[in-house]
C-alpha cells in the first residue's frame, strides 16, 4: 500500500487526462458564520487510479464526493475531469457530462423497486435517449460480470442486499464512465458481502481504466485500494 500525498503531482503528469482537484472548499451559510465543510482539498488521479478516502462521520467525505460527481458545486477551487471543468458548463451540458462520464454507487442501492435488475441497469441509458438492443446486451453482460446473470428479471425486493448493490455497480458502469464514485458502498453490508462488493468494484473499475474514488469509514474496504487518504474535519491527511 502506498500513501498518497494530498498535493501529489506524480499521479497526473498530464492535467488534461484524469481527475484534478485544486484547492476545493465548501461552505454552507448559517445565520452566524459560514459552516466550513471542505478546507482546501487538492489531489490528482490518472485513469485507472483507485483511491479510498477514509474518515469519521461528518468529516466532509460525502460533500467532497458530491462535488467530484458534479451533484454539488464547490464554494471555491476547481475540478477538472480529462481537461473539462464541469462547473463551466451550462445546466444541460452538465447533466450530459454527469450522465455519460460519471457513475455513482451509494450506500443505499437507489434501485427502482418496480423495475427488474436488467431494467435498473438500463436506467443509466435513459438520459441519453432510448434504449436499443446493444444497450440491453451490454446491461446483460454487466449483470453477468457482477455474477447476476440468473437474476436479470428479479425485482430489487427479490434480491439480497449484496445482490442489489451488485446491480447498482452494473448500473454505475453501464455508460463506461471515466470516473466511478462510491459513497460508503459497503455501509449496509456484512463483512463478507462487503469484501465481495469491494473486490468487484476494484476489479471492474480497473478493467475499464476508470478512475475509482470511494469514501468510507470501513478500514477493510480501504485496504482493497492501492491509494488511500484520510479526511479529518474537511482536510485531507
Binding site for Mg ion (CB under 5 A): 62
Sign of the CA dihedral running 215, 221, 222, 226: negative
Q: Which of 2, 57, 90, 191 binds ligand ADP (CB under 6 A)?
A: 57
Rounded CA gap, 5 and 43, in Å?
A: 8
Q: Which of 4, 20, 24, 37 binds ligand ADP (CB under 6 A)?
A: 37
Decide whether 163 or 184 has the Cβ nearer to ligand ADP.
184
Q: Cell numbers 478516502 correspond to what residue?
A: 53
Q: What is the dihedral of CA 172, 199, 227, 64, to 10 degrees?
A: 30
Q: Cell numbers 451509494 correspond to what residue?
A: 106
User: Closest separation between CB of residue 37 and ligand ADP, Å?
Assistant: 4
Residue 18 interacts with, from Mg ion, ligand ADP, none (CB under 5-8 Å by kind) = none
Q: Does 59 bind ligand ADP (CB under 6 A)?
A: yes
Residues 6+ away with beta carbon under 8 Å from 199 = 224
Q: Which of 50, 61, 171, 228 binds ligand ADP (CB under 6 A)?
A: 61
Closest-CA residue to 225 (of 9, 54, 37)? 54
User: Closest separation between CB of residue 63 and ligand ADP, Å?
Assistant: 3
Q: Does 24 bind ligand ADP (CB under 6 A)?
A: no
Residue 178 interacts with, from Mg ion, ligand ADP, none (CB under 5-8 Å by kind) = none
Closest-CA residue to 213 (of 201, 196, 231)? 201
Q: Which of 18, 19, 60, 105 binds ligand ADP (CB under 6 A)?
A: 60
Q: Does 35 bind ligand ADP (CB under 6 A)?
A: yes
Q: Does 218 bind ligand ADP (CB under 6 A)?
A: no
DSSP helix/strand/coil, 102: strand
Rounded CA gap, 47 and 181, in Å?
A: 13
Amino acid at each position: 500500500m502506498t500513501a498518497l500525498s494530498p498535493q501529489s503531482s506524480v499521479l497526473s503528469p498530464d492535467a488534461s487526462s484524469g481527475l484534478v482537484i485544486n484547492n476545493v472548499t465548501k461552505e454552507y451559510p448559517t445565520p452566524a458564520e459560514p459552516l466550513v465543510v471542505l478546507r482546501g482539498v487538492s489531489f490528482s488521479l490518472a485513469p485507472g487510479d483507485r483511491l479510498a478516502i477514509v474518515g469519521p462521520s461528518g468529516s466532509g467525505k460525502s460533500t467532497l464526493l458530491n462535488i467530484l460527481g458534479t451533484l454539488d458545486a464547490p464554494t471555491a477551487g476547481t475540478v477538472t475531469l480529462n481537461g473539462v471543468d464541469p462547473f463551466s458548463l451550462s445546466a444541460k451540458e452538465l447533466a450530459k457530462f454527469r450522465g455519460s462520464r460519471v457513475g455513482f454507487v451509494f450506500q443505499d442501492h437507489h434501485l427502482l423497486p418496480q423495475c427488474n435488475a436488467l431494467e435498473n441497469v438500463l436506467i443509466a441509458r435513459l438520459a441519453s435517449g432510448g434504449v436499443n438492443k446493444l444497450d440491453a446486451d451490454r446491461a446483460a453482460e454487466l449483470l453477468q460480470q457482477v455474477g447476476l446473470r440468473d437474476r436479470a428479471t428479479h425485482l430489487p425486493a427479490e434480491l439480497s442486499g449484496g445482490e442489489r448493490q451488485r446491480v447498482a455497480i452494473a448500473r454505475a458502469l453501464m455508460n463506461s464512465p471515466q470516473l466511478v464514485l462510491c459513497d460508503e458502498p459497503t455501509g449496509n453490508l456484512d463483512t463478507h458481502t462487503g469484501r465481495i462488493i469491494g473486490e468487484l468494484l476494484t476489479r471492474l473499475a480497473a478493467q475499464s481504466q476508470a478512475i475509482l474514488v470511494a469514501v468510507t469509514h470501513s478500514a477493510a474496504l480501504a485496504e482493497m485500494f492501492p491509494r488511500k487518504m484520510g479526511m479529518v474535519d474537511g482536510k485531507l491527511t
